């Protein structure tokens, strides 16, 4: 018994050193299998929430004032409503609802808050990593009208917009977009004069899908 115990104690570490690499290899193999076994969904089959920020400049002659707008859009896009499989990828149409907050960076007013709806027309490449999008829609909103000549005639305002750009998916949790946007705001002739604002510029955004 006295000779057996030291021999057993010395033998135990040997078995431990041999077993540890085997268990580690099994663990890494199972983890790799589980991570690769999960299929990635196509973007058009998922709902998405995006935040876009932009800078728009006054264009045209609807108002003598030189406006500069900085809109922030919080948008929800539905799963694909209509879609077509193409040789180059997929064409999808999705519903889009937007909460719009605009800081009037240059102009008599200071802010505009509105809601809008539009379709989102998207072409996706075969990998589902790159999208070219466009769409147009409109809605209603409120701003702090100031009664200055050439500015907006009342707080309640109608607006419509058109947008186009690209969206790139770097990973499931990293998606960015860049585009151009045209926005028109006016009160639909409810006051006279009704100058309105026409502005165009660039946008940059980030998207999360679920």
pLDDT by position in tens, the chain (length 210):
444 444 444 444 444 455 555 544 544 444 443 333 334 558 999 999 999 999 999 998 888 899 999 999 999 999 999 999 999 999 999 999 999 999 999 999 999 999 999 999 999 999 999 999 999 999 999 999 888 888 888 899 999 999 999 999 987 778 999 999 999 998 888 877 778 899 999 999 999 988
Residue 152, judged by CB atoms within 10 A of its CB (0-12, 13-18, 19+), counts as: buried
Give me 19's structure tokens: 């077993």
The structural domains of the chain, with segments of one domain joined by +, span 1-38, 43-209
43-209: in CATH 2.40.160.20? yes
Q: What is the CA radius of gyration of the chain?
A: 28
Element (H, E) at 9: helix 4-37
């Amino acid at each position: 018994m006295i000779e057996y115990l030291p021999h057993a104690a010395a033998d135990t570490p040997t078995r431990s050193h041999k077993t540890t690499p085997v268990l580690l290899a099994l663990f890494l193999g199972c983890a790799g299998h589980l991570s690769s076994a999960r299929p990635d969904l196509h973007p058009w089959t998922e709902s998405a929430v995006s935040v876009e920020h932009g800078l728009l400049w006054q264009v045209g002659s609807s108002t003598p004032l030189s406006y500069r707008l900085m809109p922030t859009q919080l948008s929800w896009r539905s799963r694909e409503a209509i879609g077509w499989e193409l040789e180059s990828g997929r064409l999808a149409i999705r519903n889009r609802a937007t909460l719009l907050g605009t800081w009037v960076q240059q102009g008599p007013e200071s802010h505009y808050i509105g809601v809008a709806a539009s379709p989102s027309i998207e072409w996706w490449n075969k990998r589902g990593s790159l999208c070219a999008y466009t769409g147009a829609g409109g809605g209603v909103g409120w701003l702090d009208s100031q009664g200055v000549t050439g500015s907006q005639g009342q707080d309640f305002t109608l607006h419509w917009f058109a947008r186009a750009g690209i969206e790139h998916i770097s990973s499931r949790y990293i998606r960015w977009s860049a585009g151009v946007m045209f926005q028109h705001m006016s009160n639909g002739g409810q006051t006279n004069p009704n100058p309105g604002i026409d502005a165009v510029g660039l946008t940059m955004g980030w998207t999360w899908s679920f």
